Amino acid sequence: MLLPVKKLRAIKQEIRIVGVDDGFFAPHTKGLADVIGVVYRGGYWLDGAMKTEVTIDGMDATDKIAEMIMASPHYAQLRILMLNGVTFAGFNVVDIHKLSKLTALPVIAVTREKPNFSDIHKALTHLPDGDTRWKIIENAGALVSLRTRKGREPIYIQVAGISGEDAKRVVRESSTRSNVPEPLRVAHIIASGLTKASAKI
């Protein structure tokens, strides 16, 4: 499924980005895990927060994240959707192309560490719909590495609905405090900070 790539004419410093990450959960259990979205204006100001729940090792992350974002009062202002990787709540894989189509937003999945695809492939064989999950991961496309800050390790991105070059620019411009974009750094802090004491099991 190839989607038209939105061309960003100019990346304004205050471009609205939503960053999405999951909270703590007990791996290999049945249940739900919190998924948090935070809206930033560029890399500087937090503008909004939203929450949904996805099934641990389930198949609903793509739809649930799309619903959360489209139900938000910030949706009309959003220009970019960033994900902390493509797997949430265990192996609940996000189809970034479908997510981009559902939300009509460019999607950029960011990881600090290069995923070990052979380990992931092996783990998926133990889960229902293992082949479907693997296909979704493969379809996310090649990992592109980039350096957001001098002297720091590179990070990796996968994109949907945006060119690799535009995605790199947005990721670099929004990495104001660390080597990952501020909306994702903060989504991680909030998701983990608020779920630690009350992890759903």
Residue 193 near its own copies by CB under 8 A? yes
Does position 177 interact with its own copies (CB under 8 A)? The reply is: yes
For the window 10-39, what string marks contact with its own copies as x by the rule CB under 8 A? --------------------------x-x-
At 66, phi and psi to the nearest 5?
-60, -45
Burial 72-91 (b: 16+ CB within 10 A, else e): bebbeebbbbbbbbbbbbbb
Considering only the stretches 4-12, 49-57, 128-136, 143-151, report the one whose residues sit in contact with its own copies under the rule CB under 8 A.
Answer: 49-57
The amino acid that residue 200 corresponds to is: K
Nearest to 38 by CA among 8, 83, 102: 83
User: Residue 51, interface with its own copies (CB under 8 A)?
Assistant: yes
**Minimum CB distance to its own copies smaller for 50 or for 171:** 50
Q: Which of 79, 194, 199, 200 binds its own copies (CB under 8 A)?
A: 194
Output 35 or 167, the one with its CB closest to its own copies: 35
Using CB under 8 A as the binding rule, whether residue 152 contacts its own copies is answered as no
Structure tokens at 133: 């999950």
- Please give the radius of gyration of the chain, using alpha carbons only, rounded to the nearest integer: 16
Please return the burial class of 130, using the count of CB atoms within 10 Å of its CB with bins 0-12, 13-18 and 19+. Answer: middle
Does residue 46 interact with its own copies by CB under 8 A?
Answer: yes
154 φ/ψ angles, rounded to the nearest 5 degrees: -70, 160
Does 130 participate in binding its own copies (rule CB under 8 A)?
no
Residues that bind its own copies (CB under 8 A): 36, 38, 44-52, 71, 177, 186, 189-190, 193-194, 197-198
